[in-house]
Chain A
Amino acid sequence: MKALLLAIVLLGPLAGAGREPGRELDEVARIASVMVDGDVCKRIVTPRALEYMFKNDPHDQWLAGDNYEVNDEAFIAVKKTLIRLSRLVPFPCDVNLWMPVAGHPDKVRIVIRNAHELSQFWTWGALYQDMIPPMKQVLESGRRVAVAEKPGWVSVLAPVYDSLGDIVALVEAVTETPVDPHENVK
């Protein structure tokens, strides 16, 4: 945890990262906070899927995954915005959408991933995972945070707001240098 915290740089603008990709990702993340519609994000995952997400059946290990469903119109609308945001930079970049889990403040879930299959945080295959401290920080403070925990990786996390002004999600603008063209082709 100490190492992770050391790797976190509070932004405003991005300071201390010392890397051009970090600065450019910060700009992407800043724009994402304006462009990504938190109300639409809230409509992506269905209530039914959220209900099943925490159900356990010792005889059915795929229960939650088999019942995961989304509203495709909302998903597509937000995904298109995320793809466009990733194209603001000249290097391979993904902008992923993460959301907190209502009733489970210690958990967070990824909702949309993109074509480079990059994320510094996602546990492959997980529907939800333990809250990541820098994400908690973004959700609570509304300030962007850069994380360079894994060698060669930079992520900038930024809040997503709904029409009430509440932070309902966050984006992860992420790149890896160099990108491994074979990773996650599975």
Chain B
Amino acid sequence: MTPFLLLLACGLVARGNQLEATPEYLRPDPFGGIVPADRGAGGFSKALKLEGARGGHVSFHLVVKMSQPGPYTLTLRSYPDQKGLQAELFREWFHFTESNKQYYPDALIPVQQPYHSEMPEPDNRIETQTAQAFWVDFWIPPDAAPKTFQTQAILQAAGETRELNIQVKVLPAMIPNDDVLLMDHNSYGTSWLADDYPALSKKLGDGFFRSDEFFRLLHSYHRIFYEHRGIFHQLGYGHAGKVGPEFAPAIEGSGRTRHVASWDLYDRHYGPLLDGSAFAGTRRGARPIPFVYLPVNPEWPASFVNFGEPGYETEFVNVVSEMERHFREKRWTGTRFELFFNHKKRYMGFPWDGDEVRFPADNRYFLEYGRLMKKAVPADSPVKFVFRADVSWDMEQQFKDLAGVVNMWIASRDILSWLPQAPATLRDRGDVIWYYSGPPEVTQPASTITQFALEGWMRGVGGFVHWQTVSAGSDPWFHFDGGGTALVYPGDRFGIAGPIPSVRLKIQRNAVEELTLLASFARRKPAEELKAEASRLYNHTTPAEWWNARPAFTSQPTYEWSGTTLGEAAKPALSHLDHIDPDAWARVRQYVMRLAADGNGEK
């Protein structure tokens, strides 16, 4: 073939069908490009070389490009004769995002292979679509052989076949099963489930919230976060104390006679989560959830009508004691049960702030509930109760004044930024310290979500909480709000009775796996050196730049602080996280893999 004919042939192929790949941080758009937020040095490739440690995942976007509409078949070859590596294929949904009128892939729909469809993808309804993206997960089991695996993805369309070679190098290094920090995903109540699963709730009618299907649905949310190395919290009461029936045992009587009347709904909800059976069959194994909210609030189990009187104490102590006995008899001793007050005065239910105390006088209520808990729970109980407080304004003083009472703190990210000694101080006395965050919207670079785990590790906290993670808006499919309150989506639209993951959730999982591996190298390299290099590679900072100077206004009473000045004071450190470039985590990942390879599998 002459050079001219060769060029012509290449040109024809380029205009025809193509099968390409991009790294996980570069999200494809439906027209053959990369979404603007992720455009950087990298791009599409026609062959792929990946490497990863055992006990973790490697992932990428597989992209079918077709210049003409029509049917196609996509196949990802598995490893029938090569022990271990497991592939999963997801179709990426392109969400039309109202804020900037662009398409972003995020929801991941599990698909079977070979996958038969057509371009444009009928249900996504993008008339001019020429590219369909798929998320590929390779799970590397802990017992996988450390060697290089080869496979192929194959596209068949319009009588043509395109192949993409994939090479996965499995390193001997092992990702520890326990993460370097906990990633918590928060939510409120269960009413949203009826909205998100209309087919199921319609079918079950009034019985929906008491049905086995409903409880399976609840458990499926815990499973999806657990499978993505996270945990899930559902708060079960409102700001004026209304408790959802599946979040608390039914109680009856008043004063001396108040007692638990039924554990039915509570046990159906929590039993499989607290004994771990809800997670049977998952890759991480059947383990109890590590934390759970209690339904206790100022109105439950004691009625506020008796607050401050002997009857309030009797109702509180009797019912909480019954709960302790029940948990002990069930051997639910692997979970920490959180006494947690979410109410704020501004919602008019109670006269003090349980959440984010601003007025120090409110702290006396924490002391009182601490006293009641001590009275209710035997000192030698094997059941683990913790007193959790989500704190901001007054947190520095609360760390001192509530020491020995509150022992689980979810701290404001902003205020924590000028308290560099706090995490170690709290950890040293046995307290749990996490910080508060929220998922980044899809319009931000895909790598943005990696910052939370890294920030937590840099600051020495044990975890972080995404405050709302299951609320994808009224129409996430065609009029998306950006996903700032969602990391999973209801699967109902695709005939799945449970949530489906997102690109952001996958990237977050991969990052914490790699960070956990990196942190494990502290056995052979100083932790501070690991942090310094990760920080440099991630956003060109030093570890010191993750902290702020203490602002002058902190000498004033907290109720005199203003939100504006507080935000300004937090800016210097957080400004380094305002725009994470698309390759930020890729550089850290490369560093981790280099150390893993150098360590020759040291664990």
- Closest-by-CB residue of A relative to B190 is A182
Q: Are B242 and A66 in contact (CB under 8 A)?
A: no
Of A28-36, A54-62, A138-146, A166-174, the segment with at least 4 beta carbons within 8 Å of chain B is: A54-62
Interface size class of A (residues with CB under 8 A): 35 or more
Q: How far is the CA of A75 from the CA of B365 in the complex (A)?
A: 15
Q: How far is the CA of A66 from the CA of B564 in the complex (A)?
A: 12
A residues 140-169 in Cβ contact with B at 8 Å: none
Task: Annotate B208-236 by CB proximity to A: 1 below 8 A, 0 otherwise.
Answer: 01000000000000000000000000011
Q: How far is the CA of A88 from the CA of B247 in the complex (A)?
A: 27
* Chain A residues closer than 8 Å to B247, beta-carbon distance: 185
Q: Are B563 and A63 in contact (CB under 8 A)?
A: yes
For A113, give its contact among B236, B303, B348 (CB under 8 Å): B348
A125 at the interface (CB under 8 A from B): yes
How far, in Å, is A124 (CB) from chain B's closest CB? 8
A130 at the interface (CB under 8 A from B): no
Q: Are A181 and B209 in contact (CB under 8 A)?
A: yes
Q: How far is the CA of A115 from the CA of B359 in the complex (A)?
A: 24
Q: Are A84 and B305 in contact (CB under 8 A)?
A: yes
Given the known A-B contacts A76-B308, A185-B189, are A67 and B559 also in contact in the complex, defined by CB atoms under 8 Å?
yes
Of B2-10, B339-347, B429-437, the segment with at least 4 beta carbons within 8 Å of chain A is: B339-347
Q: With a 10 A CB-CB cut-off, give which of A71, A79, A125, A180 has the most chain B CB atoms.
A: A79
Q: Are B564 and A60 in contact (CB under 8 A)?
A: yes
Given contacts A59-B563, A79-B304, A182-B191, 13 further A-B contacts (CB under 8 A): A66-B563, A67-B358, A68-B346, A69-B345, A76-B351, A84-B305, A113-B348, A115-B303, A117-B239, A125-B346, A181-B245, A185-B191, A185-B237
For A62, give its contact among B239, B243, B563 (CB under 8 Å): B563
Q: How far is the CA of A83 from the CA of B311 in the complex (A)?
A: 15
B99 at the interface (CB under 8 A from A): no
B494 at the interface (CB under 8 A from A): no
* Chain A residues closer than 8 Å to B235, beta-carbon distance: 185-186
B562 at the interface (CB under 8 A from A): yes
How far, in Å, is A174 (CB) from chain B's closest CB? 13
Number of interface residues of B (CB under 8 A): 41
Q: How far is the CA of A38 from the CA of B346 in the complex (A)?
A: 21
For B307, give its contact among A67, A76, A117, A181 (CB under 8 Å): A76
* Chain A residues closer than 8 Å to B358, beta-carbon distance: 66-67
Q: How far is the CA of A116 from the CA of B567 in the complex (A)?
A: 36
Q: Are A80 and B563 in contact (CB under 8 A)?
A: no
Q: Are B567 and A182 in contact (CB under 8 A)?
A: no
- Closest-by-CB residue of A relative to B187 is A186
Q: Are B189 and A186 in contact (CB under 8 A)?
A: yes
B291 at the interface (CB under 8 A from A): no
How far, in Å, is B33 (CB) from chain A's closest CB? 36
Q: How far is the CA of A69 from the CA of B353 in the complex (A)?
A: 9
A114 at the interface (CB under 8 A from B): yes
Q: How far is the CA of A111 from the CA of B352 in the complex (A)?
A: 13
Given the known A-B contacts A72-B351, A115-B240, A186-B238, are A80 and B305 also in contact in the complex, defined by CB atoms under 8 Å?
yes
- Closest-by-CB residue of B relative to A116 is B242
Q: Are B191 and A115 in contact (CB under 8 A)?
A: no
Q: Are B351 and A185 in contact (CB under 8 A)?
A: no
- Closest-by-CB residue of A relative to B236 is A185
For chain A, what secondary structure do more than half of its interface residues adopt (helix, strand, loop), or is it mixed? loop
Q: Are A70 and B351 in contact (CB under 8 A)?
A: yes
Q: Are A185 and B559 in contact (CB under 8 A)?
A: no
Given the known A-B contacts A63-B563, A72-B351, A80-B305, are A113 and B240 also in contact in the complex, defined by CB atoms under 8 Å?
yes
A101 at the interface (CB under 8 A from B): no
B299 at the interface (CB under 8 A from A): yes
- Closest-by-CB residue of B relative to A124 is B347
Q: Are B304 and A186 in contact (CB under 8 A)?
A: no
How far, in Å, is A141 (CB) from chain B's closest CB? 25
Q: How far is the CA of A75 from the CA of B371 in the complex (A)?
A: 23
B370 at the interface (CB under 8 A from A): no
B241 at the interface (CB under 8 A from A): yes
Q: Can you report 9 A-B residue pairs in the complex whose CB atoms are below 8 A from each other?
A: A60-B564, A60-B567, A67-B559, A80-B305, A111-B348, A115-B242, A117-B242, A185-B235, A186-B235
Task: Annotate A113-127 by CB proximity to B: 1 below 8 A, 0 otherwise.
Answer: 111110000000101
How far, in Å, is B566 (CB) from chain A's closest CB? 9
Q: How far is the CA of A184 from the CA of B237 in the complex (A)?
A: 8
For B345, give its contact among A68, A83, A181, A184 (CB under 8 Å): A68
A65 at the interface (CB under 8 A from B): yes
A8 at the interface (CB under 8 A from B): no
A20 at the interface (CB under 8 A from B): no
- Closest-by-CB residue of A relative to B561 is A66
Q: Are A65 and B243 in contact (CB under 8 A)?
A: no
Q: Are B304 and A183 in contact (CB under 8 A)?
A: no
- Closest-by-CB residue of B relative to A117 is B242
Closest A-B pairs by Cβ, 10 of them: A185-B189, A75-B351, A72-B351, A60-B563, A186-B188, A182-B191, A185-B244, A83-B305, A65-B346, A117-B242
A112 at the interface (CB under 8 A from B): yes
Q: Are A112 and B348 in contact (CB under 8 A)?
A: yes
B420 at the interface (CB under 8 A from A): no
* Chain A residues closer than 8 Å to B244, beta-carbon distance: 181-182, 185
A110 at the interface (CB under 8 A from B): yes
Q: How far is the CA of A181 from the CA of B188 in the complex (A)?
A: 14
- Closest-by-CB residue of A relative to B241 is A115
Given the known A-B contacts A112-B348, A115-B299, are A184 and B242 also in contact in the complex, defined by CB atoms under 8 Å?
yes
* Chain B residues closer than 8 Å to A57, beta-carbon distance: 562-564
How far, in Å, is B242 (CB) from chain A's closest CB? 4
- Closest-by-CB residue of B relative to A180 is B191
How far, in Å, is B353 (CB) from chain A's closest CB? 9
* Chain B residues closer than 8 Å to A62, beta-carbon distance: 563
* Chain B residues closer than 8 Å to A115, beta-carbon distance: 240-242, 299, 303-304
* Chain B residues closer than 8 Å to A114, beta-carbon distance: 240-241, 349
For B564, give its contact among A59, A75, A186 (CB under 8 Å): A59
* Chain A residues closer than 8 Å to B305, beta-carbon distance: 80, 83-84
- Closest-by-CB residue of A relative to B361 is A72
* Chain A residues closer than 8 Å to B352, beta-carbon distance: 72
* Chain A residues closer than 8 Å to B188, beta-carbon distance: 185-186
- Closest-by-CB residue of A relative to B194 is A182
Q: How far is the CA of A144 from the CA of B99 in the complex (A)?
A: 47
* Chain B residues closer than 8 Å to A69, beta-carbon distance: 345, 359, 559
- Closest-by-CB residue of B relative to A74 is B351
How far, in Å, is A79 (CB) from chain B's closest CB? 7
How far, in Å, is B567 (CB) from chain A's closest CB? 7
Q: With a 10 A CB-CB cut-off, give which of A110, A112, A114 has the most chain B CB atoms.
A: A114
